[in-house]
Chain A
Amino acid sequence: MAKTILPIGPYHPLQEEPEFFTLTVEGERITDIDVRVGYNHRGIEKLSESRTFDQSTFVIERICGICSTSHPFAYTRAVEDIFPMEVPERAKYIRTIIAEGERIHSHLLWLGLAGHFLGYNTVYMWAWKLREEILDVMEILSGNRNNYAMFKPGGVRRDIKPEDIPAALKKIDAIVPTLEMLKNAVIDDPVLHARTKGVGILSKADSIRYSAVGPTARASGVARDLRKNCPYGAYDKVEWDMIVTQNGDVFDKAVVRILETFESIKIIKACLEHLPEGEIDANITSVPPGEGIGHIEAPRGETFHYVRSDGTNRPVRHKVRAPTYMNLPTFKATIVGETLSDATIILASIDPCYCCTERMAVRDETGRKLLHGQDLVRLSREKTERIRREMGVEPQ
């Protein structure tokens, strides 16, 4: 059967970020995939070397918009690991609150996009409408919808005022019923089961070989979560569960993320209700020579920062490793053998954040373009309609 190369990208409406995949197909089956990255490479590691430790936090925050807290969190922990030192209790709780708020908004964002790719535009609109409520909560607590600028080496930059907490709690409680409705709409829908169960399976052995992280690994049965294994912040002081499933397909990845959102709500509420009094900043004046490593569980997996200092006020080396960097290569294991109509949802299921990975899209050597990105979305939605008809389900 003739082999054809199918480029997806770099700028097509499926993904906000430019990335380029080249799928080699035989008929309808995908036989190979190549990912080309680098369209977002901005040389941030080199920029860090010409900024002071405190200024670096602002650059680091703009590595990624969706997971914008996880990078400063890991970076400040890396700088504190050079000493090594602990930040005050209140700072730990505030950091946890901001990090979990971000996890909720990131998972809701993913849920909306996944619905969009499958043709469930209602899920897309509802999930993003719900996301606005969480962004309001973050605005009450930190002053901004996305780049919170709350972290600094040694603690947090601003405090949470006691009079803001009741308003934030009230808004969080108001989200829960809609979230329940979304969860049931997704988990109980038979058409979604047919579309996503058994699709894009990442086995446990592959997950370990590629060192996949985050929900991508937890959906394959790898029971590891940095918040439980290497506790930081206030995660060891509140009650919550790690969500692990066994099958490793797209459905499991969705389930892990949805259930994690409920756990995050538990954590935020517990932290807001039991916020301890005290200092929010350890007031670091200078960083000693040495090296430090900070890693935290971001919405997509483990974010890892390494900082080396020589006693001056600028880092000598700052290494950033985002979770999607380890998860992207798993495409080779999950998408080969699947059909074209499933390509888009499998690619989206690892929740790729290309800006974090600073990656670019694939190039097509032959220059033949048979299907546009839009055609792939259309294929994906047609498959959903076909399954609906077969099952006798009412169209949405």
Chain B
Amino acid sequence: MGMKLRALLKSPWVFHLSTGSCNNCDIEVLDCLTPRFDIERFGILLAGSIKHADVLLITGSCNRQSAERLKRLYEQVPKPCLVVAIGECAMSRGMFIESYNCPLPLDHIIPVDAYIPGCPPKPEAIIAGAVKLIEKVGAAT
């Protein structure tokens, strides 16, 4: 397991998932892939299908419908897989904590490896978070 995880850190393919968000975080994630920030030069690509994903980037406040699909999708992802919660909504639902349609925070549904706070986090923050995660995983294996 350790070697596999180490191998995927060289060029992690990310799959981005929105569980009911305002899309600001999603747009900032896409901003990371466009010419100004361009994380593709580090080998980080947006995977088309969840079966090719090494890292899951999850945004949004997990409303009821999305939570069901999230669980199913997490089961389909080939392990090992790292999960990153981006934005306040993914961390704890933020200001939607009392909403009738958002019952549980993300880490009660699937295990999370890294949290990137912000509303939305700037692309620099997302990249810093991704680098920290890679260093932490690299040091542990």
Interface residues of A (CB under 8 A from B): 10-11, 13, 16-18, 38-44, 46-47, 50, 58-59, 62-66, 68, 109, 112, 124-125, 128-129, 132, 145-147, 353, 355, 360, 372, 374
Contacts and interface: CB of A to CB of B under 8 A. Distances in A.
A14 to B, nearest CB: 10
B1 interface: no
A66 B23 contact: yes
B42 interface: no
Contact of A17 (B18, B36, B49, B102): B18
B120 A146 contact: yes
Interface in B97-137: 98-102, 119-120, 122
Nearest to B59: A16
Q: Which 9 A-B pairs have the closest CB atoms?
A: A65-B24, A128-B34, A43-B99, A65-B23, A16-B26, A129-B35, A132-B36, A65-B22, A43-B101
Counting chain B CB atoms within 10 Å of each CB, which of A16, A64, A112, A132 scores highest? A16
B27 A42 contact: no
A42 B101 contact: yes
B25 interface: yes
Nearest to A374: B48
B7 interface: no
Contact of B99 (A10, A46, A68): A46
Contacts of A17: 18, 21, 23, 26
Nearest to A9: B69
Counting chain B CB atoms within 10 Å of each CB, which of A11, A68, A129, A360 scores highest? A11
A62 B35 CA distance: 26
A360 B122 contact: no
B60 to A, nearest CB: 8
Given A39-B66, A147-B120, A355 B96 contact: no
A146 B26 CA distance: 12
B138 interface: no
B22 A63 contact: yes
Contact of A355 (B22, B28, B35, B49): B22
Contacts of B18: 11, 16-18
B24 A68 contact: yes
Interface in B77-110: 94-96, 98-102
A145 B30 CA distance: 14
Contacts of B25: 65
Nearest to B46: A13
B27 A372 contact: no
Interface string B38-76: 000000001011100000000011010110010001000
B117 to A, nearest CB: 14
B17 interface: yes
Contacts of A16: 16, 18, 23, 26-27, 30
A62 B69 CA distance: 23
A11 B120 contact: no
A42 B95 CA distance: 10
Interface of B: 16-28, 30-31, 34-36, 46, 48-50, 60-61, 63, 65-66, 69, 73, 94-96, 98-102, 119-120, 122
Contacts of A47: 95-96, 98-99
A11 B102 contact: no
Nearest to B24: A65
A374 B22 contact: no
Given A13-B48, A132-B31, 13 more contacts: A11-B69, A11-B73, A41-B65, A42-B63, A42-B99, A43-B99, A62-B94, A63-B22, A65-B23, A65-B24, A109-B27, A128-B30, A355-B22
Nearest to B97: A47
Contacts of B99: 42-44, 46-47
Given A66-B27, A109-B27, A125-B34, A43 B21 contact: no
Given A11-B17, A42-B63, A47-B96, A125 B35 contact: yes
Nearest to B29: A16
A146 B95 contact: no
A376 B101 CA distance: 31
B87 to A, nearest CB: 10
Counting chain A CB atoms within 10 Å of each CB, which of B22, B46, B48, B63 scores highest? B22
A129 B34 contact: yes
B54 to A, nearest CB: 16
Contact of A41 (B20, B30, B48, B95): B20
Contacts of A372: 49
